[in-house]
Amino acid sequence: MKAHHISNWFSDRLGWRALSSDVGGRLVSARNPNIYIGGVILFLFATQIASGVLLLLHYQSSAEHAFESVTRIAGEYPYGDLVRGVHFWSGQLLVGTLLFQLVLSMLRGSFTAPRELVWVSGVVITTVAAAFAFTGSVLPWTDDAYAQARVGSQMAGYVPVIGGTLLRLLRGGDEITSQTLQKVFGFHVAVLPASFTLLLVLHFYTIRSAPRVTTTPAADGEKIPMYPDFVVRMAAIIVGVLVVVVSLATFVARPIGNAADATAASPASARPTWFLLPVHALLKSAPTTLLGVDSARFIGGALTGLYLLVAALPFVDKRGGRVTTGITCGALVLAALLTIHALY
């Protein structure tokens, strides 16, 4: 039996030839950045799953063994540090790419009708990615991670209305214990991946089903067929991203730190993951009370309000005008200044 016979046998039963000529023949806008960003996001998420499953098979989620198991992954198993590095860096790049796309859409005003659901699902996807990064930073159960778990769950407690329930749900009780680590682990490896996958499907579905709108002349420009032109470009970009991820994993040192100890003071160096540094700066610099409310509770409430405003942006700013662009630029500058403040 020849190779093309086998290929034909499967093709007759799976109908992939018709499918590939249909999908492959579709035209895409060569200069629309979103389709490339979407491809990069899919690739990074696939990398997360592949490296995450490997880590999952060695990681132990109890408070006594978590730190030790991470040390063993990094130090003893062949390529363990590479796997851990690839998982870490592809995760950071995933959050970074999603935030970049979010900001880009805000600046371009591409969230307006009829693309409201594209925007809302995109905001929720970015939130889930941020939750991935936060829970992932807690799993090694170092002294830093333990402090982050304490502060992070306390901040969740300051979300208006549902805060109290959220805090006890995340901690598995009133205190940070081994139960907390188990919850964080469960979210990181089951709840969040399942949500992320479903949301991605929903997001791509909303992109396809929303009537076409062109926000920039570039999107109207040159059209290229999906196969081979777009696939080749995308493949080149993905190889580039992979080189960046592997280089970061190989050449940037990521010391694991010290094991968590519930009977030791929190380390003075404890800082959250990079995208939360502006919040860290606010919490550190705020006075005891703001407008008569404890400052941390005030900041928690204000951030919840800000988040809901961003999620509801298409319904607040129906035209995607200059005001949103201006406020976004201002917010970026503020976030940059706060990040610098948090680091020094």
Binding site for other proteins (CB under 8 A): 147, 150-151, 153-155, 165, 168-169, 171-177, 179, 262-268, 270, 283-284, 286-289, 294-296
Cis? peptide before 114, omega within 30° of 0:
yes
* CB 184 to other proteins: min, Å: 14
> Measured between alpha carbons, how far is 341 from 337 in angstroms, rounded to an integer?
6
> Measured between alpha carbons, how far is 269 from 159 in angstroms, rounded to an integer?
26
Are the beta carbons of 111 and 118 closer than 8 angstroms?
yes
* CB 140 to other proteins: min, Å: 18
Extract the tokens encoding 229: 């032109």
* CB 205 to other proteins: min, Å: 20
Query: Of the two residues 210 and 286, which places its CB atom closer to other proteins in the complex?
Result: 286
Query: Of the two residues 81 and 143, which places its CB atom closer to other proteins in the complex?
Result: 143
Query: Of the two residues 84 and 183, which places its CB atom closer to other proteins in the complex?
Result: 183
Conformational region of residue 324, where left means phi above 0, alpha means psi within -120 to 50, and beta covers everything else = alpha
Query: Of the two residues 102 and 145, which places its CB atom closer to other proteins in the complex?
Result: 145
Q: At what angle do helices 143-156 and 163-171 cross, to 10 degrees?
A: 150
Which H, E and C letters describe 195-233, residue by residue? HHHHHHHHHHHHHHHCCCCCCCHHHHCCEEEHHHHHHHH
Other C-beta atoms closer than 10 Å to the C-beta of 11 total 15
> Measured between alpha carbons, how far is 278 from 296 in angstroms, rounded to an integer?
14
* CB 153 to other proteins: min, Å: 8
* CB 194 to other proteins: min, Å: 15
Query: Of the two residues 20 and 165, which places its CB atom closer to other proteins in the complex?
Result: 165
* CB 160 to other proteins: min, Å: 17
The values of phi and psi at residue 264, to 5°, are -130, 150
Are the beta carbons of 271 and 263 closer than 8 angstroms?
no
* CB 56 to other proteins: min, Å: 21
- Please provide the DSSP assignment of 300-331 as one string: HHHHHHHHHHHHTHHHH-SS--HHHHHHHHHH
Are the beta carbons of 227 and 26 closer than 8 angstroms?
no
Give Cα separations from 61 to 230, 304, 322 (angstroms).
42, 30, 48
Helix (H, G, I), strand (E, B) or coil at 33: helix
Query: Of the two residues 169 and 194, which places its CB atom closer to other proteins in the complex?
Result: 169
Query: Of the two residues 63 and 249, which places its CB atom closer to other proteins in the complex?
Result: 63
Query: Of the two residues 74 and 296, which places its CB atom closer to other proteins in the complex?
Result: 296
* CB 259 to other proteins: min, Å: 14
* CB 181 to other proteins: min, Å: 13
Query: Of the two residues 125 and 151, which places its CB atom closer to other proteins in the complex?
Result: 151
